[in-house]
Amino acid sequence: MKKWKGFLSLLLALTLLLSTAAQIIPAAAAAGGDITAVGSADPSTVIGALDSNALAGSFYADKSVSYDAVTQSFTATLSALAKDYQENVTAEDLVPMDVIVIVDISGSMNETVVTPDTTDWTRVDYLSWGMNVLIDNVIEGTNNRLGVVTFSGNIEDDTSDNNAQILLPLDRYSKVDFSTADTSLTLSDNSTYETKKLDVTYQAADAATESTGSVNMAGGTFTQTGIAKAYDMMSANTDRTVTVKGQTVYRTPVVVLITDGQPTWANSSYSSITSSTQSSIGDGSSDTDQSLDDIAYYTVRTAKYYSDRMAKLYSSDYTANPNYRFMTVGIGVDVLSNVSSAFASAFLDPTVENVAALNSDSDYYVNNSVQDSSGNTKNYSSLLYSDLGGSSYAGAYDYATDS
């Protein structure tokens, strides 16, 4: 099936993430002392040895003497040739990763994305496709671990602990397959919404049988709770090192946030979010007169707060692990209803450049139909620009390493 080019970037981005996050463990020094090389420095006689690691690290020396009959002089030449490494990288050569995926399961993920090839795919269809690509790459690593957190939130003012949940515990898996299915979800007001659900079949590496799980795509978008839940999963795990090739190394922590880029709930207490936190801003909808800029702002603050702490968990002295990655992936962010793609880009990747672009965003009114109390169309891009600091913003809340 032909897929829209905007979502091909999802596949490429996720594949790139795994390749760039992977760190190669250097080979340990050979036991028993240095290797003594035997042979000439002439590449034609030693090229075979140079193509292998048998004499890795060796130093080849050669001495030759020539006689010039005209000048009747002898010339002594000393030459040297270093033996380089020929790396054959396998999964066992890579620093193991702990990959936690934060997945948006809000009701807006059921919406169909209109594409140039008219493929009738919803955002959750693209989500399951992209998740399978990502996870296939993760579980190829012998010691890689995977965890999946889902979030929506405040369904019909439900106060139960349902804003963010663990779909897959952080563990090694031999199989994980995501798929989508049509279903219906009856909410507390007895009204029925036709939605999709995200199904997963998985098998832990040390398990004898498969297990299944399922989540319904419904509710608003309470992104803060998903990020906080990912931190809880990571901080609860104390087994952050692994011995590979005789060396004890910290795993590389990787967080991937996949969402449609438009949070509709938030809490201003951005540094004390839990999965049962109730919203203080928003009503779960993007179609009413609410402060979508404030919601995005506090969500960015939460992402920065918890991302900084997750980076420090995987180090011996609680300093940021230099290999830590936080990647954001937006699904259908250029067809959002009430904010522009520039707004979504600044939320998902608040770089200086993306935030500055908000100030000159001329497309906000194209997608925005919400008016304030005075009847003026709200320019959420301009409002978010001001919330983040306007022209003085210097990247203080830039939490994403890749987007």
Q: What is the pLDDT of residue 65?
A: 56
Q: What is the pLDDT of residue 303?
A: 96
Q: What is the pLDDT of residue 263?
A: 87
Domain parsing of the chain, residue ranges: 5-27+90-392, 43-82
Query: Element (H or E) spanning 100, and its range?
Result: strand 97-104
Q: What is the pLDDT of residue 291?
A: 81
pTM listed for this prediction: 0.77
| Residue among 19, 24, 15, 22 at smallest CA distance from 323 | 22
Three-state DSSP class for residue 387: helix
Three-state DSSP class for residue 162: coil
Q: Using N-to-C axis directions, what is the helix angle for 341-348 and 380-387, rounded to 10°?
A: 20
C-alpha to C-alpha distance for 55 and 4, rounded to whole angstroms: 50
Contacts of 301 (CB under 8 A, 6+ apart): 270, 271, 397
Strand order in 325-330's β-sheet? 164-171, 145-151, 97-104, 252-259, 325-330
C-alpha to C-alpha distance for 215 and 136, rounded to whole angstroms: 21
Phi, psi for 34 (deg, rounded to 5):
-70, 155
Write down the CATH number for the domain with range 5-27+90-392. 3.40.50
Three-state DSSP class for residue 80: strand
Task: List, as one string, the DSSP characters of 252-306.
Answer: EEEEEEEE-S----B-S-TTS--TTPPPSB--S-SSSS--HHHHHHHHHHHHHHH
Q: What is the pLDDT of residue 52?
A: 44
Q: What is the pLDDT of residue 72?
A: 54
C-alpha to C-alpha distance for 159 and 273, rounded to whole angstroms: 14
| Residue among 338, 336, 343 at smallest CA distance from 300 | 343
C-alpha to C-alpha distance for 78 and 154, rounded to whole angstroms: 78
What tokens does 34 get? Answer: 């240095």
Q: What is the pLDDT of residue 337?
A: 52
Q: What are the average pLDDT values for consecutive 10-residue runs of the chain, which has 403 residues?
A: 46 58 54 36 43 46 55 53 49 77 87 65 82 86 91 57 83 90 56 72 91 85 93 93 86 91 86 78 66 90 96 91 89 63 89 93 61 70 91 95 81
User: What are the Cα distances from residue 203, in Å, to 104, 126, 131, 208, 286?
Assistant: 23, 23, 16, 8, 38
Helices and strands per DSSP (H, E), number in the chain: 9, 14
